[in-house]
Amino acid sequence: MSAWEKLTALPREIVLGLVLIAMILPTLKPLGLPLMVGTMAKDWYDTVDALPSGSVVLFDIGFGSGGYPSLGPATIAALHQMFEKDLKIILMATALEGSMMYPLIMNKVKPEENYGAVYGEDYVFLGYIAGGQTAMAGVLGDLHAIVSTEYTGKPIDQIPLLKGVEGAEDISLVAYITTSGDTSEGWVYQAYSAYGKDVVGGMLSMMTTSMKPYYDSGQLKGLLDGVKGAADMEFLTRHPGDAIKSSDVLSFSQTLVLIFIIVGNISYWGVKTSEKEGR
């Protein structure tokens, strides 16, 4: 059997084994392979980067456990950037499970340990606020009228960060990451349309087609598109996480498959050429 024939007869077990290794290695240690960062994610990053230190950001955790694998990494990367910029972050949840996602996210960000942030002074979590767009309008219209206590039950009048924040006029940017189309559009209506505030949004990939027109028209300053957007943010913020791992797995394994296809085609034509020469 010629070398070309051996290549075409490469055992399936070897091929699948190499693909499996290509999937496992980036999972154990992210390789940080170069990404072609999307414009939408870059615009989110640039919008936040342009904010002066001390600017107030309202950040909505609009997803639960089902959305965490796709949207959790984006939220973590986005918060890393905001804490590094020394922004004042008011977090809230329009999703019922958002209050359960908050500690998972903060355990990854570690704002006190990594950035010296102080809860109540540099950031605060208001917890779940029911009502959809009614809640959004209330927070932007008169925060102290709609929210009496923060997540742990402490009166917001006793939170230093919130003493100077009454509503939209004191907020520089509204950011949200959600699995809900109503929430995604709601923040555009309530923050941009009603108050002219800059808004950046993150969502599941399947929602991007319906929300991209808002980005194209300038109503959304930036947009994070599912796992791809999360990987872009992790790359831009230099905080590789689960999204970069997923991207590395896809890049590494698909590159290997492409190599197999190329080798397979070359060996096929090599065998054909050898057969013709042997006649």
Query: Of the candidates 200, 44, 57, which has an alpha carbon nearest to the alpha carbon of residue 117?
Result: 57
| pLDDT of amino acid 227 | 87
Residues 6+ apart with CB under 8 A from 90: 56, 57, 58, 59, 123, 124, 126, 161, 162, 165, 171
DSSP of the chain: --HHHHHHT--HHHHHHHHHHHHHHHHHS---------HHHHHHHHHHHTSPTT-EEEEEEE--TTTHHHHHHHHHHHHHHHHHTT-EEEEEESSTTHHHHHHHHHHHH-HHHHH---BTTTEEEEEE--STHHHHHHHHHHHHHH--B-TTS-BGGG-HHHHT--SGGG-SEEEEEES-HHHHHHHIIIIIIHH--EEEEEE-GGGHHHHHHHHHTTSSSEEEEHHHHHHHHHHHHT---HHHHHHHHHHHHHHHHHHHHHHHHHHHHHHHHHHHHH-
| pLDDT of amino acid 29 | 66
| pLDDT of amino acid 9 | 66
Are 165 and 56 in contact by the 8 Å Cβ rule? The answer is yes
Give the global pTM.
0.81
| pLDDT of amino acid 37 | 83
Length of the chain: 279
| Residue 66 backbone dihedrals phi, psi, to 5 degrees | -65, -30
Order of strands across the sheet that contains 56-62: 123-128, 88-93, 56-62, 173-178, 198-203, 222-225
Question: Could you tell me if residue 162 is left (phi over 0), alpha (psi between -120 and 50 degrees) or otherwise beta?
Answer: alpha
| pLDDT of amino acid 36 | 75
- Sites in the chain below the pLDDT cut of 50: none
| pLDDT of amino acid 2 | 61
Biggest CA-to-CA distance, the chain: 92
> How distant, in Å, are the alpha carbons of 6, 13, 65, 88 from that of 264?
11, 16, 42, 56
**Domain at 39-239: CATH code:** 3.40.50
| pLDDT of amino acid 261 | 76
Question: Could you tell me if residue 196 is left (phi over 0), alpha (psi between -120 and 50 degrees) or otherwise beta?
Answer: left
Per-residue tokens: 19: 């693909």
